[in-house]
């Protein structure tokens, strides 16, 4: 969790940065920091999740190690981010997963899910796995109702856990859920999120080491995010076809669900593979060693889920289809189960932090808060 020592370290770092302000033009963290004279735990978790870990401030800082002040903004905010994931996790006892979530545990969970699905399918009838199904009819292997029950139940739990975490973060950051957000501020925040505006603080490229910049980290993030969204869109369209129009899968290769899923799967191959490579080659000074397993577990689960899905699509008319379907669904199930307790949450908290930043810097709201603060001080003095 967020220990007192980590909070004090974060307050020390932000206080020094607030006095120096050499990096104020780099990203949203520094203007947001300058709006504060003191830093509560909620302020620190907000600033930490607003940080995109570009690393520019570390290389520019005159007080960075080996200076005796040892100011390391990226590492400090990364540690606070991890603490915020644990702090806002629901249910609370599962918060330990953020520290123990390693690549091997993710693969073990996926293999356990595959084994469970294989066993339940065999109990339903050995012929489901032993017989080739012409046209790639997945529902002859696992009925549609069973898929909906299993993945619908898991999705409901995951959604509840994610929403609870974001609401806790939002309230800790000093925001109220009942207060309406200016539409233009919300639009700007979402635009900043989907374009990764602050992933690169200086120019169009991202830093991988001091004075070494390239666009790849940004592009691999885009491929991963939009690949995930295309896969989600594919599943949504397929559900609409099945429930709304009674069109039963499998769908032709050039149908909308298959085209969306194929494009998303390719994005989820290239994006995670690139991010995995970059994380191994990037300057370790801007990374938190405690989050290596957390990052790599999420990346590899995304990659294997997309890989098994694409192989299943290509071989859906072959005798291996039933086994491939079970393997793919096992990886999907493991991915879903780890979403609230893995690196996926950083995208939600970061987006919420961008929304808060946009609302703070939105002219009308900033003026209203300033007037309200001045009125409060006047009443107090009176």
Give me the average pLDDT of each 10-residue run along the chain (382 residues).
92 95 90 93 96 90 91 94 96 90 92 94 76 71 90 96 96 74 86 88 72 88 96 95 91 95 97 93 86 93 97 91 94 96 95 93 56 43 41
277 lies in a domain? yes
Both tokens assigned to 296: 């790599």
182 lies in a domain? yes
Q: What is the pLDDT of residue 330?
A: 97
Residue by residue, DSSP assigns 243-278 as: HHS--PSPPPTTSHHHHHHHHHHHHHHHHHHHHHHH
Q: What is the pLDDT of residue 364?
A: 52
21 lies in a domain? no
Q: What is the pLDDT of residue 380?
A: 41
177 lies in a domain? yes
Q: What is the pLDDT of residue 374?
A: 43
pTM, full prediction: 0.88
82 lies in a domain? no
Q: What would the pLDDT profile of 210-222 be if each residue is shown by its tens digit? A: 888 888 998 999 9
Question: How many independent structural domains does the chain possess?
Answer: 1
Q: What would the pLDDT profile of 276-295 be if each residue is shown by its tens digit? A: 999 888 888 888 888 999 99
Asked if 83 and 1 count as a contact pair (C-beta separation under 8 A), the reply is: yes
113 lies in a domain? yes
Q: What is the pLDDT of residue 204?
A: 67
112 lies in a domain? yes
Tokens 């393997």 belong to residue = 327
19 lies in a domain? no
Q: What would the pLDDT profile of 113-156 be if each residue is shown by its tens digit? A: 999 999 988 887 777 776 655 567 888 888 889 899 999 999 99
Q: What is the pLDDT of residue 212?
A: 84
Q: Which domain holds residue 351?
A: 101-381
Q: What is the pLDDT of residue 371?
A: 45
Q: What is the pLDDT of residue 366?
A: 46
Q: What is the pLDDT of residue 131?
A: 60
Both tokens assigned to 51: 């940080």
Asked if 278 and 270 count as a contact pair (C-beta separation under 8 A), the reply is: no
């Amino acid at each position: 969790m967020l220990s007192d020592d980590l909070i004090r370290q974060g307050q020390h770092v932000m206080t020094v940065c607030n006095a120096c302000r050499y990096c104020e033009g780099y990203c949203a963290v520094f203007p947001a920091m300058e709006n504060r004279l003191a830093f509560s735990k909620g302020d620190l978790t907000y600033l930490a999740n607003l940080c995109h870990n570009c690393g520019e401030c570390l290389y520019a800082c005159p007080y960075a190690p080996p200076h005796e002040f040892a100011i390391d903004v990226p590492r400090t905010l990364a540690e606070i981010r991890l603490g915020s994931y644990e702090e806002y996790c629901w249910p609370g006892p599962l918060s330990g997963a953020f520290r123990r979530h390693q690549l091997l545990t993710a693969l073990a969970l996926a293999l356990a899910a595959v084994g469970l699905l294989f066993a339940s399918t065999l109990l339903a009838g050995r012929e489901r796995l032993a017989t080739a199904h012409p046209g790639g009819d997945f529902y002859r292997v696992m009925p549609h109702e069973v898929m909906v029950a299993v993945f619908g139940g898991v999705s409901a739990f995951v959604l509840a856990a994610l929403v609870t975490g974001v609401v806790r973060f939002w309230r800790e950051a000093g925001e109220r859920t009942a207060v309406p957000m200016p539409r233009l501020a919300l639009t700007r925040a979402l635009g900043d999120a989907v374009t990764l505006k602050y992933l690169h603080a200086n120019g169009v490229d991202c830093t991988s080491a001091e004075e070494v910049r390239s666009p790849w980290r940004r592009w691999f993030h885009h491929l991963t995010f939009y690949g995930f969204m295309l896969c989600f869109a594919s599943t949504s369209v397929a559900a609409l076809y099945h429930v709304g129009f009674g069109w039963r899968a499998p769908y032709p290769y050039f149908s909308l669900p298959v085209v969306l899923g194929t494009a998303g799967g390719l994005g989820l191959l290239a994006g995670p593979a690139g991010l995995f490579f970059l994380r191994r080659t990037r300057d370790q000074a801007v990374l938190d060693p405690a989050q290596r397993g957390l990052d790599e577990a999420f990346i590899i689960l995304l990659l294997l889920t997309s890989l098994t899905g694409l192989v299943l699509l290509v071989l859906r008319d072959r005798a291996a289809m039933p086994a491939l379907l079970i393997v793919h669904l096992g990886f999907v199930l493991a991915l879903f189960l780890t979403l609230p307790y893995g690196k996926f949450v950083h995208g939600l908290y970061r987006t919420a932090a961008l929304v808060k930043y946009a609302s703070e810097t939105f002219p009308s709201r900033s003026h209203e808060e300033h007037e309200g603060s001045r009125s409060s001080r006047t009443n107090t003095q009176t």
